[in-house]
Amino acid sequence: MATVKLLLKVSASKQWFLNQLDISNAFLNGDLDEEIYMKLPDGYADIKGDSLPPNAVCRLKKSIYGLKQASRQWFKKFSESLLKLGFMKQQGDHTLFVRCQGSDFIALLVYVDDIVIASTTESLAISLTEALKESFKLRELGPLKYFLGLEVARTTEGISLCQRKYALELLTSAGMLDCKPSTIPMTPNLRLSKADGVLLEDAEMYRSLVGRLMYLTITRPDITFAVNKLCQFSSAPRTSHLTAVYKVLQYIKGTVGQGLFYSADSDLTLKGYTDADWGTCPDSRRSTTGFTMFVGSSLISWRSKKQPTVSRSSAEAEYRALALASCEMAWLFTLLIALRVATSVPILYSDSTAAVYIAINPVFHERTKHIEIDCHTVRDKLDNGQLKLLHVKTEDQVADILTKPLFPHQFTHLLSKMSLHNIYASS
């Protein structure tokens, strides 16, 4: 979904038109490469109207819903059509296609049968739609308003993205629509473990709530850490874990319309913040990585993730976080280039002077010699001029919100730096 958000941000800044299409019965368009036979349903007759013998089969000429290759064949057919129209598939994201002719630019993003078109002029989108109609049956949905459950609202100031309708449905199904709101999604300094509390009798209910919360994190970085932590107990959830889920729902109750805001300003500089909380998992002693990626003032991508191995020091944990964040930054930079955005070298901020020193000083370090080679990718990017690494004060480390549960004043301070917006809030 980061590609969708990036496309919205660039469209807001460059004043591109945003339109949406829906392909009708998309999976029926795919051509089959294999020889596949299907048993005919009872009562099916041949072309002359004669009944067919029992157990009659037919050979499929096209894909149908239910075939495991149906989605692949549909995407292949659609991709071929776009390539014939002069589009180029982007290596950074194969669902993103772009075409540039002089000052005219058009980008198309496809997610199964839902399509978003961003173009410099309205006529470009219209001509593309007419060309696609020659090959596919489609519906024109007009300006982008609702995409994959995400509510899109555009003004002269920018584009807002939220999941208010989804959040209300979640609260209703959980019986929490009338609950008391909370100002934070998780109790400060809470350290959940696998052994806390009593095993739940209905584990499916817990998994369902956590799974639905995961989808809400598409536009809610403020609950990402809490939801990521709760996902770690899905195999054997306990009462303490369910209590923490209800705490998140209480927070959502008070911020139901909150979402992302992509400003229409012209700043498209890529910058990121990376942080780690060392050894805080009581079960594995592994650390938590958190990073946020901004284009201008707009939050595009973020992540909260438990590190795969135990770190021997806080500096090592921070360095591993740097490596993961640098890879995400490189990918986003590639997408910006694909969208014809001319930007300066991206900047990555860390509040760990030790981790910054390890990254910029390529000499052999006795305490870090065991770190996997792939973690040193950040050094290569620094040496090649693909990345700048700077120190930031701990109190301004935005990614801290993705590594641990914070006190209300800390949480509110960092949240104010994440370009979140509530279009439903009273002015």
* Res. 363 pLDDT band, cuts 50 70 90: low
Q: What is the pLDDT of residues 396-407, one digit of tens each?
A: 999 999 999 999
Which residues, 6+ apart, have CB-to-CB distance to 275 below 8 Å? 289, 290, 291, 318, 321, 350, 351, 352, 397, 399, 400, 402, 403
- Kind and range of the H or E run holding 88: strand 88-90
> What does the alpha-carbon distance between residue 425 and residue 408 come to, in Å, rounded to a whole number?
20
Quick one: what percent of the chain has pLDDT higher than 90?
A: 71
**N- to C-terminal Cα separation, the chain:** 30
pLDDT tops 60 at residue 57 = yes
CATH topology assigned to domain 265-392: Nucleotidyltransferase; domain 5 (3.30.420)
pTM of the full structure: 0.91
Q: The domain 2-29+68-148 is classified under which CATH number: 3.40.50, 3.90.220, 3.30.70, 1.20.1300?
A: 3.30.70
The whole-number average pLDDT for the span 371-388 is 76
Task: Quote the CA–CA distance of 27 and 78 in Å, as a whole number.
Answer: 10
For residues 388-398, give the mean pLDDT. 92
* Short-list 371, 320, 378, 319, CA closest to 346: 378
Greatest C-alpha distance within the chain: 82
- The domain segmentation of the chain, as residue ranges, is 2-29+68-148, 164-254, 265-392
At residue 41, the pLDDT reads: 76
Per-residue pLDDT at 427: 46
Least confident of 46-60, 171-185, 326-340: 46-60
Give tens-digit pLDDT for 329-349.
999 999 999 999 988 899 999
- Model pLDDT for residues 131-174, shown as the tens digit of each residue: 999 999 999 999 999 999 899 999 999 999 999 999 999 999 99
